[in-house]
Amino acid sequence: MADRIFEEPRLADVYDLFDSSERPDLDPYIAITEEFCAQSVIDIGCGTGILACRLAALSKEVIGVDPAAASLKVASRKAYADQVKWLHGTASMLADLQVDLVMMTGNAAQVFVTDEEWMSTLRECREVIRPGGRLVFEVRDPSKEAWKDWNREQSYKVIEAAEIGKVEKWVDLLDVQLPLVSFRQTFVFQRDGMILTSDSTLRFRSQSEIVDSLFTANLPVEDIRDAPDRPGLEFVFIARCPD
């Protein structure tokens, strides 16, 4: 079940508006597809489809999968969306596929809060990656305690868009019981006064936990990189499927 921020149509429609239109966090993933000469890519947790469509524009064969129908509807309206295969669901739907690269960007890898969910997802990724192919994803470094900034004062943003009007957004921290952190995002649509909230929980796994889980899934770690746009705050894992 997707969080409301991805599944509620009004929230999905404004999701991209609160991010930089350039999305520098996705540039390293575009570069990685070229670095590893990946022609076929699966984007797990593709959301509103920005990465998937950017890859399609580069003539990659792209599959975007997400459990939130509202987000996929937004994705379907983007340029190059007609060149992406969109799947409404989870990694369990990917059986019988074979690709060069599987990606999980943003917080996608942290939404799997139980060990069972996480290991199942890793094994499903392993099954669809060709020998020598790779799984690439990012997670926040738990030692940096990113949640300390998840409050209204530091997270408040406001956007104004045609046909939508002014929308305010902020984040409130709800609970920290490591390795789980829960928070609420609040949106105020000023045109009609509608207030919508979305609660989420992320799991903060340590670097060693993730390395061990990838090894167990037969996806040994090839490299652990920094996120160029957020230096020192995140780990970017590159795991290689054995030949």
- pLDDT by residue for the chain (243 residues), tens only, comes to 789 999 999 999 999 999 866 688 899 999 999 999 999 999 999 999 999 999 999 999 999 999 999 999 999 999 999 999 999 999 999 988 999 999 999 889 999 999 999 999 999 999 999 999 999 999 999 999 999 999 999 999 999 988 899 999 999 999 999 999 999 999 999 999 999 999 999 999 999 999 999 999 999 999 999 988 888 999 999 999 998
Neighbours of 93 (CB within 10 A): 14
The pLDDT, as a whole number, for residue 228 is 83
The pLDDT, as a whole number, for residue 98 is 96
Question: In CATH, what class is 4-142+205-240?
Answer: alpha beta
Give the start-to-end residue ranges of the domains of the chain.
4-142+205-240, 144-202
The pLDDT, as a whole number, for residue 25 is 85
The pLDDT, as a whole number, for residue 20 is 65
The pLDDT, as a whole number, for residue 229 is 82
Q: Which residue has the tokens 């996705």?
A: 26
